Chains A and B, each alone.
Chain A
Amino acid sequence: MLLEIKELRKSFGGVRAIDGVSFAIDAERRVFLIGPNGAGKTTLVNLISGYLRPDSGAVIFRGKNVSGLDMRERSRLGIARSFQLVNVFWNLTVEENLAMSVASRKGITLKPFPPLRSHREVLEEAAEVAKAFGLEGSLDMLPTELSQGDRKVLDVAMALALRPRLLLLDEPTSGVATRDKFAIMERILAAVESYGAATIIVEHDMDVVFNYAERVLVLHHGKLIADGDPEKVRSREDVRSVLLGGIYA
Chain B
Amino acid sequence: MSLDTIARYLLDTLFFASLLFLVVAGLNIVYGVLRIVNLAHASLFTLGAYVTAWFTASFVAARFESLLALLVFPLIVAAVITAIVSLLLVVPILRYSYGKGDAFQLIVTFGLFMIFEELFLIIWGRAPQQAGDAFVEMGSVQIFGSPYPLYKIYVIAFAALLALLFWLITYRSLFGLTLRAISMDPEMTSALGVNVMRFVIIAVVLASLLAGLGGALYLPIASAMPGLSSEVLIVAFVGLVIGGMGSFIGSAIGALLVSLFRTLSVYFFPELELVILFAVALLVLLLRPEGIGGGKGW
**Contact, chains A and B (beta carbon distance below 8 A):** no
What is the interface of chain B, defined by CB distance below 8 A to chain A?
none
- Spell out A's residues near B (CB within 8 Å): none
